[in-house]
A and B are shown apart, each in its own frame.
Chain A
Amino acid sequence: MLGSFDFDVIRRSLPYLFFEGMRFTLTLTALAAVGGLVFGTLIALMRLSGYRLLGRVAGFYVDFMRSLPLVLVIFWFYFLVPYIGQWLTGASRPITVGAFASSLITFIMFEAAYFSEIMRAGIQSISKGQPAAASALGLTYGQSMRYVVLPQAFRNMLPVLLTQTIVLFQDTSLVYVLSIPDFLGAASKVAQRDGRLVEMYLFAALVYFTISCVASYCVRRLQARIAIVR
C-alpha cells in the first residue's frame, strides 16, 4: 500500500531518468517527427503526382506500414538495418548499428506513412485555382509546391501534425522491447534494480501524462489562434 511508498528512489534517480532517459525520448521524438514529415511530404507528393506507378508505390508503402503493429516494425528494422547497411556500404558482414540510429530509422520510416496521409489531406485542401494560378504566373511544379501549395498545406495541418507528434512521443516508449534506456526504459531499469516497480511506473505514468496533457492543451490553443476564418 501507499504507506511504504518510497519517494526517495524517485529523487535519487531523477538525474538518470531525465538527463539520460528523457533526453533520448525527446531527441528521438524531435528527429523522427522532422524526418517523418520530410519523407511523409515526399510520399504525399508521389501519391498526388499523377504518375500511376509512383502513386501506386507510395500508396502501397503507406497501406503496408499502417497495417503492421509498431512493435513488429521495430523488430523488423532492428534486424534488417545491419543488412541494408552492409548492402549499401559493400561491407563483408552486417554492419553494427547503434540503438539510437536503429530506432530513429524505424520511427522515421513508420511515421512517414502517417505524416504522408496528413500532408495529403493538407495538399488536397488547397483549392485547385492556386496551383493553376501559380503555373499561369510561370512557376514550375517545384516552385509552385515550394512557394504556394506546401506552405498553406503545412499551416492548415499544423495542429494535426503536432497531435501526431504527441502520439509519436508516446509511441517512442515502445523501444522498450529492444531494452533501450529511453525514459520508460530508464524508469524500468531503476524499478527492477531497486525492486520499486510501483513508485517508478507511477512516476513514469505521471510524467508522460503531464507532458502529453500540456502539449495537447498548447495544440488546442494554437489551433484556435491560427484558424483561418473562411
Chain B
Amino acid sequence: MNYNWNWHIFLEPNPMGTGTYLDLLLAGLVLTIKTALLAWIIALIFGSVIGVLRTLPSRAASWIGFCWVEFFRNMPLLVQLFLWFFVLPELLPKAAGLWLKQLPNAPFWTAAIGVGLFMSARVAVQLQAGISSLPRGQRQAATALGLTTFQTYRYVLLPMAFRIILPPLTSEFLNTIKNTAVAITIGLIELTGQARSMQEFSFQVFEAFTAATVLYLLLNFIVVTAMRWLERYVAIPGYISGK
C-alpha cells in the first residue's frame, strides 16, 4: 500500500486555529455526546408516553401510539432530518419559519430533536413489549388494591417494565449515539464530520478515520460498562437478573 502514514498529524495545528487536529476531533466527540444525550432524553420522554399509550385499554390511545410509531419508523432518519431542517420552516407561518431558520446552532437542535423523535418510536416499541411481558396478575392486583390507572403504571407496571427492557434500551442508546452521525448531512460537525474535515484539510484519510473509530469504540465501551453497572444496581433480588 503506497500511502504515506503520518501519525504525528494529530499534534500538528489545524487550519481553523483552534489548536491541534486532535483538539478538532475531541471537539467533535463532545458535540456527538451532547447531541446524543439531548436526543436520548427526548427519546425516553416521548417513547415512554407512547409506549404506555399503546398498552392502555382505550382504543383511541393505542391508535395514537400506533400512528406515532409507524410514522417515525417507516422513513429513513436522513429524510426525517431533511423534513425538520428544510421543509418545516417553509410550512410554518412566515415569522415562525424565519425565526427557525435564523436560530443559532440550528443543526444541533434539529439533529437532537430529529434523532430523538426517530428513536422515541423504538423506545416505545421496547417499552410496550416490556409492559406486555409482565404477568396479567400485576395489573389485576393493582386494580384490586384500588389503584387508579396512573398509579398502576407509576408504582407497579413501569418500575418492572423499565428494569426488564434495560438491556435493549442500552443498545437503543448506542444506536442514538451512532445515529447522530447522520446529522453530518445538515451541517452538524460532530465526530464523523470532524474526521471528514480533518481528512479534507490534511489528506491523512486513514489516520483521521482511525481516530474517529477508536473514539466511537471508547464511547461504546463506556456506555456499555455504565449500563451493566446500572442493571446490577436496580436489579430486584430473586427476579430475572437479580442477585
Report A's interface with B, CB cutoff 8 A: 1-2, 64, 67-72, 75-76, 79-80, 83, 86-87, 93, 170-171, 173-174, 176-177, 184, 188, 197-198, 201-202, 204-205, 208-209, 212-213, 216
Q: Check if B153 is an interface residue, CB within 8 A of chain A.
A: no
Looking at chain B, what size class is its interface with the partner chain?
Answer: 35 or more
Known: A67-B178, A67-B216, A197-B90. 14 other contacts (CB 8 A): A1-B90, A69-B181, A69-B182, A70-B181, A71-B182, A75-B196, A79-B209, A174-B78, A177-B184, A198-B86, A198-B91, A201-B79, A201-B86, A204-B82
Contact A75 B209 (CB under 8 A): yes
Identify B76's interface contact among A64, A76, A170, A202, CB under 8 A: A170
Secondary structure of the B contact surface, majority rule: helix
Q: Is the CB of A213 within 8 A of B209?
A: no
Q: Which of B3, B74, B205, B213 has the most CB of A within 10 A?
A: B74
B91-A2 in contact (CB<8A): yes
**Chain A neighbourhood of B209, CB < 8 A:** 72, 75-76, 79
Shortest 4 CB-CB distances between A and B: which pairs? A69-B181, A212-B74, A170-B76, A69-B178
A190 to chain B, nearest CB (A): 13
> Is there an interface contact between A201 and B83, defined as CB atoms closer than 8 Å?
yes
Give bound CA distance, A174 to B184, whole Å: 11
Please report the C-alpha to C-alpha distance between residue A197 and residue B205 in the assembled complex, in whole angstroms: 32
Contact B75 A176 (CB under 8 A): no
Residue of B nearest to A72 (CB): B192
For A201, give its contact among B1, B3, B87, B192 (CB under 8 Å).
B87
Pick the contact of A69 from B70, B71, B192 — CB < 8 Å?
B192
Residue pair A198, B90 in contact (C-beta under 8 Å)? yes
Q: Which residues of chain A are near B82, meaning CB under 8 Å?
A: 188, 201, 204-205
A184 touches B78 (CB 8 A): yes
- Whether the Cβ atoms of B3 and A68 lie closer than 8 Å is no
User: Interface residues, chain B, CB within 8 Å of chain A?
Assistant: 1-3, 70-71, 73-80, 82-83, 86-87, 90-91, 174, 177-182, 184-185, 192, 195-196, 199, 205-206, 209, 212-213, 216-217, 220
Provide the residues of chain B in CB contact with A93, threshold 8 Å.
2
B78 close to A173 (CB less than 8 A): yes
In the complex, residue of chain A having the shortest beta-carbon distance to the beta carbon of B74? A212
Q: Is the CB of B185 within 8 A of A67?
A: no
Contact indicator B87/A72 (Cβ below 8 Å): no
In the assembly, what is the distance between CA of A68 and CA of B74, in Å?
22
Q: Which residues of A contact B75 (CB under 8 A)?
A: 170, 205, 208-209, 212
A75 touches B76 (CB 8 A): no
Q: A67-B217, A80-B206, A170-B76 known; A176 and B185 CB under 8 Å?
A: yes
In the complex, the answer to whether B181 meets A208 with C-beta atoms within 8 Å is no
Q: Which residues of B contact A83 (CB under 8 A)?
A: 1, 3
A68 CA / B220 CA spacing, docked (Å): 9
Task: Give Cα A201 to B89, complex, Å.
Answer: 13
From B83, B90, B180, B213, A68 is in contact (CB under 8 Å) with B213
Which of A177, A202, A213 sits near B70, CB closer than 8 Å? A213
Give the shortest distance, in Å, between A7 (CB) and chain B (any CB): 16
* With contact pairs A80-B206, A83-B3 given, residues A213 and B216 touching in the complex (Cβ less than 8 Å): no
Asked if residues B216 and A72 are in contact (CB atoms below 8 Å), the reply is yes
A79 partner residues in chain B, CB cutoff 8 A: 199, 205-206, 209
